[in-house]
Amino acid sequence: MPGHLDRPVHLGEARPTPKGTFGEFLVEVGPQPIVTSNGLILLLHNAAVRFEDGTVRYTCGRLLFHPDRPTEIMAQMNYPWLEPTSFEDQHGLVSNVTFIEGLVHFKGTWFAYYGQSDSTLGVATYKVGETYGGLL
């Protein structure tokens, strides 16, 4: 018998990024959600902010959902985990874009494949167990 996670979920008015943060203008789903080792659901997403001059900046965020209540956002980032930093991220058909599209776990490392300014492809990696420098 199908479980409650087998059907689409509507988040209603929930906004993954609060007004004034990196996803104020646009939020879109990235790669498939991941069920973490403690059962929580991690969803990576793409977000954008529009500046007064009309330009946009696309970055990547993440949300953590309760596994038994998949409409409940338990935690969210109010800053991006991936943002335009390299030349390729900042210059292209649409400049200042990092837009995650795929996620693969291979031999203890996560590979996040993303578009760079709608012109090239990049990959960000995370080796399981590494810390985030001074952030943790």
CATH code at 29? 2.115.10.20
pLDDT band at 11 (very low <50, low <70, confident <90, very high): low
The answer as to whether 63 is a domain residue is: yes
Partners of 90 in the beta sheet?
Answer: none
Across the range 27-35, mean pLDDT stands at 84
The answer as to whether 87 is a domain residue is: yes
pTM score above 0.85:
no
The answer as to whether 8 is a domain residue is: no
The answer as to whether 66 is a domain residue is: yes
The answer as to whether 92 is a domain residue is: yes
Give pLDDT, residue 2: 43
Task: Print the domain residue range for 106.
Answer: 23-129
49 near 69, Cβ under 8 Å? no
Give pLDDT, residue 103: 92
Q: Measured between alpha carbons, how far is residue 103 from residues 7, 31, 62, 123 in Å?
A: 22, 6, 13, 9
Q: How far apart are CA 119 and CA 28, in angstroms?
A: 19
In the predicted structure, residue 17 carries a pLDDT above the cut 90: no
Per-residue pLDDT of 79-105, as tens digits, reads 888 999 999 999 999 999 999 999 999
The answer as to whether 15 is a domain residue is: no
The answer as to whether 134 is a domain residue is: no
**Tokens linked to 25:** 């203008």
Number of domains in the chain: 1
State the chain's mean pLDDT as an integer. 81
The answer as to whether 16 is a domain residue is: no
